[in-house]
Amino acid sequence: MQLSNRKKVMEQGEMTLVERMYLPAIVGGMATTLKHFFSKPVTIRYPEQQRYLGPIFRGHHILKKDSEGAERCTACGLCAVACPAEAISMVAEERKPGEEKLYREEKYAKVYEINMLRCIFCGLCEEACPKEAIFLRHDQMVPVFSSRDEVIYGKDKLVEQMDQRYLRDGWK
Amino acid sequence: MNLLTDIFLAKAAFIGVVFAITLGIAAYSTYFERKIAAFMQDRIGPDRAGPFGILQPLADAVKMFMKEDFIPANSNKWLFIAGPCLSMLTALMTSAVVPFGDTVTVGGVTFDLQGIDVNIGILWVFGIVSLGVYGILIGGWASNNKYSLLGAIRAASQNISYELAMGLAIIAILLFTGSLSTKAIVEGQQNGHWNIFYQPLGFLIFIICAFAECNRTPFDLPECETELIGGYHTEYSSMKLGFYLFAEYINMFISGAVMATLYFGGYDYPGVDFVTAQFGSTVAGFVGMGALIGKALIFVFIFMWVRWTLPRFRYDQLMGLGWSGLIPLSMYNVVVTAFGILIGKPFTVGIAGFALLLVGLVVYDQLFVKKKIA
């Protein structure tokens, strides 16, 4: 049975005289390597040089604040439900009077933790979020950790800092 | 001012300089090998140790010395140590007869830029190169390891096979010069009459054999990783391994120098008369030394270039090329050269002989080789 017509029968006969002398082929091969010798290396010296990974690269998580500096997250738990790795957990708390500047919605996440050993950076939390609160930022990666104490990221590492706001390319 | 003492001192200084140059070039060959490999594979290569990574050989040497110097329990201890020493010794001894330059005068002492001008110069090279295989053979055998032994056996049979063709290629050179002295060979090629123009076929044979003699790709079967782990140096570690690898790079440089001596006019360079007239013969001599080293370095580059281009031969292909390819070819070359010298037109006869060879190959191909059925 033939599924496609791409099958090609190769026939290997006796080599011709030029082929058996090998030298033309060797010269051709050496020309190829010499061409590459003078071509530009493709290496990126990683820690010093970093390649732009695109505007939708899924890197470090961030809990966005709105333009007034109030946290957007309302602790609905949809991100935790959506998470295939079950990396997200949170504790909700009701907003007290006088905290309107801190939290946008009437309910907020008192504790919001992501286990970075579990996270697979799929971005489903970002898609599930109805409040546009959690994002995976494109310009920063989760740093390497050496101890298990460092792997659970709380709000201290996740909430956006107002003096260095995260802007994704295309939002501007 | 004793003339004998002065010449002795000058020679000793010169030998020390050659020694240092050889070792320095061998050390930096390891760096350039990695750089050239990287460039040919569109990479950057070592660039962390110093600017552009130029301190890499130093770092490698420190690493080699720091590593555990392991001697296998069932090895023959003395021979195990003697192997790399012998490799290194023979690699360094070859440069004694290479004429690095013409006569120079330094501090009132006139001497040749050559270790020793013996009248059997090129035979000395051959003798030492043949001894070089003992380093590999002894090291491989003393390791008491089947892979090492197989690698050593391969090295020995390969070197013997290719020495024959190499010797025959050189006989054609000797027919031109009429002398075994390397100095005389170089002097016969001055002012652009380089042997490469008369002996292109001989040079091709010689360079292929030089690859095989140095155990370089595509002839590096003695250390064929896919079949023999590390070949003869499987059991070696630390600086003993370093000596084996170092000896290979020294051999590369020296065989480049020998090829430059035999085929590319040695220390001859365009404009030698001009430099002699302007700056005197001493400066001309040292520039010649630079020219020879430059030519040798070009050959080192070719060695590396080929290494990163060609895959390894299969063992039967290696033997087939050596015995049924190169040896008949070099015999033909000797006959053609001898005929050319006999009738006094070496250049014309050389070209005619080459054309005849090609015609013969085509005719043979048409008559006897089975064609593919279309």
Distance from CA of A31 to the nearest CA of B (A): 9
Task: Name every chain A residue with its beta carbon within 8 A of the beta carbon of B41.
Answer: 36
Tell whether the model's pLDDT for residue A84 goes beyond 90: yes
Q: For each of the domains in chain A, give its residue range(s) and CATH number, in order of start.
A: 61-164 (3.30.70.3270)
B1-13: pLDDT as tens digits = 566 777 777 778 8
Interchain CB contact of A29 with B (< 8 Å) = yes
Interchain CB contact of B343 with A (< 8 Å) = no
| CA distances in angstroms from A28 to A37, B41, B50, B205, listed in the order given | 14, 16, 36, 19
Closest partner residue to A30 (CB to CB) among B42, B47, B306 is B306
Q: In this predicted complex, what is the ipTM?
A: 0.73
Picking from A33, A39, A45 by the largest number of B CB atoms within 10 A of its own CB, the best residue to mutate is A33
Q: Determine what percent of chain B is predicted with pLDDT higher than 70.
A: 96
Show the tokens assigned to B235. 């059991």
CB contact under 8 A, A36 and B42: yes
Q: Beta strands of chain A (E only): which ranges? A: 61-63, 88-94, 107-115, 134-136, 152-153
Q: Phi/psi of residue B90, each to 5°?
A: -65, -35
What's the average model confidence in pLDDT over B125-129?
A: 85
CB pairs under 8 A between A and B: 51
What's the average model confidence in pLDDT over A88-103?
A: 89
What long-range pairs does B218-221 form, CB within 8 A, spacing at least 24?
Answer: B218/B306, B218/B310, B218/B311, B218/B312, B218/B313, B219/B158, B219/B162, B219/B312, B219/B313, B219/B318, B220/B312, B221/B154, B221/B158, B221/B312, B221/B313, B221/B315, B221/B318
Distance from CA of B371 to the nearest CA of A (A): 6
Q: Determine what percent of chain A is predicted with pLDDT higher than 90.
A: 27
B14-36: pLDDT as tens digits = 888 888 888 888 888 888 888 98
What's the average model confidence in pLDDT over B251-278?
A: 82
B296-343: pLDDT as tens digits = 899 999 999 988 888 888 888 888 888 888 898 889 888 888 888 888
Chain B residue with CA closest to A33: the answer is B40
Q: Return mean pLDDT, chain A.
A: 87
pLDDT recorded at residue B338: 87
Interchain CB contact of A48 with B (< 8 Å) = no
Q: Return mean pLDDT, chain B.
A: 83
Supply the DSSP symbol for A88.
E
B86-125: pLDDT as tens digits = 888 888 888 888 888 777 777 666 777 777 777 888 888 8
Distance from CA of B320 to the nearest CA of A (A): 13
What's the average model confidence in pLDDT over A31-38?
A: 89
Supply the DSSP symbol for A71.
B
Asked if B286 contacts B100 with a C-beta cutoff of 8 angstroms, the reply is no
A150-167: pLDDT as tens digits = 899 999 889 988 888 888
Chain A residue with CA closest to B364: the answer is A17
* A114 or B226, greater pLDDT: A114
- Residues 6+ positions from A144 with CB-CB distance below 8 Å: none
